[in-house]
């Protein structure tokens, strides 16, 4: 008989709001934090390019079950476009593939930018983690393969030109929904202006409830001397579930839910849940809480809570 292989590391659960430095991949950050926390399981809530710095949500342990909510959250970016050069990666890390002498002025940029707000169709960059026939697009791109990525509809809530420090550069602020690529915006905006351009600097300043004002720098985490100090930087599992209504359950219900069983909700709990689940009365997604701790995510149907994702803490 085979033996159960013991998991390496210790059980750590929660979210960490990390301010990622540039010149390091999101996967490398995960590896560093896994070692620092001596954690069994670590993941991130949305890739940030090596060129970019800023907010990288990190999920530990059972919080990895809520990663999708971080990935789907609204995001904010500050970035600089360098005009006159297009690169294969659409940023400063790539090879220059085309150049031009055209430099758009502020009025032209602001006029063109209006077409990039609201729902827009966007083709993701070929150097991205999108899967094409089971392969990562960036792997195919590096191998020189010819392929196409279909366009997708993304939402840009706000796109503003902040400044034009010189003729070659323009600085922007964008607030977007899920699936949006800043590099693709730079490509398409340059195309609309009849010039070349690529991202020269990029900083993500917010992912959902995680913002730069409350972020912890990776270097500061590495400088911490005790495990207790590190653990104090974690937010609870439900940190990214701020828009999901919750129901308070009893200790007995919590024990049943952790066994995968559904439980009956008391009338006053149901009444509060109905009041909080607006503006979408058809959405039955709910977070079960006991003693200020997340127990499970599930659905409320016919006065009962049916667990879907149970947090084993």
Catalytic residue numbers, as ranges: 49
Both ends of the chain: CA-CA distance in Å?
Answer: 29
Please say whether the beta carbons of 291 and 298 come within 8 A.
Answer: no
Q: How many residues are there in the chain?
A: 313
Q: Shortest CA distance to 309 belongs to which of 299, 269, 58, 70?
A: 299
Q: What is the largest CA-CA distance in the chain?
A: 73
- Bond from prior residue into 279 cis (ω within 30 degrees of 0): yes
Identify which of 240, 262, 255, 242 has the alpha carbon closest to the alpha carbon of residue 308: 262
Query: Which pairing describes strands 293-301 and 304-310: parallel, antiparallel, or unpaired?
Result: antiparallel
Residue 191 is encoded by which pair of tokens? 């195309």
Cβ(86)–Cβ(38) below 8 Å: no
User: Rounded to an integer, what distance in angstroms lies between the CA atom of residue 13 and that of residue 311?
Assistant: 9
Annotate 21-38 with DSSP letters as a single string: PSSS-HHHHHHHHHHHHT
DSSP 8-state class, residue 91:
B
Based on its alpha-carbon atoms, the radius of gyration of the chain, rounded to whole angstroms, reads 22
């Amino acid at each position: 008989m085979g033996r159960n292989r013991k998991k390496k590391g210790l059980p750590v659960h929660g979210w960490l709001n990390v301010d990622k430095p540039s010149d390091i991949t999101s996967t490398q950050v995960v590896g560093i934090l896994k070692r620092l926390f001596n954690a069994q399981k670590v993941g991130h809530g949305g890739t940030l390019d090596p060129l970019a710095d800023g907010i990288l949500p990190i999920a530990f342990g059972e919080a990895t079950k809520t990663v999708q909510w971080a990935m789907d959250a609204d995001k904010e970016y500050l970035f600089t476009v360098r005009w006159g050069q297009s690169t294969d990666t659409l940023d400063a890390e790539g090879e220059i593939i085309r150049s031009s002498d055209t430099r758009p002025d502020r009025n032209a940029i602001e006029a063109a930018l209006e077409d990039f707000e609201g729902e827009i169709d966007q083709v993701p960059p070929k150097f991205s983690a999108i899967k094409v026939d089971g392969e990562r697009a960036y792997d195919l791109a590096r191998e020189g393969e010819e392929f196409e990525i279909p366009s997708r509809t993304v939402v840009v809530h706000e796109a503003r030109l902040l400044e034009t420090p010189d003729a070659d550069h323009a600085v922007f602020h964008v607030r977007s929904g899920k699936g949006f690529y800043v590099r693709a915006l730079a490509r398409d905006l340059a195309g609309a202006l009849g010039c070349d351009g690529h991202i020269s600097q990029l900083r993500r300043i917010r992912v959902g409830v995680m913002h730069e004002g409350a972020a912890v720098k990776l270097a500061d985490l590495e400088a911490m001397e005790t495990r207790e100090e590190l653990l104090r930087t974690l937010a609870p599992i439900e940190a990214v579930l701020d828009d999901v209504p919750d129901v308070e359950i009893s200790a007995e219900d919590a024990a049943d839910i952790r066994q995968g069983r559904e439980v009956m909700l008391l009338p006053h709990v149901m009444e509060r849940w109905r009041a909080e689940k607006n503006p979408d009365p058809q959405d039955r997604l709910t977070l079960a809480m006991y003693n200020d701790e997340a127990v499970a995510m599930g659905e409320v149907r016919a006065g009962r809570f049916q667990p879907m994702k149970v947090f084993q803490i």
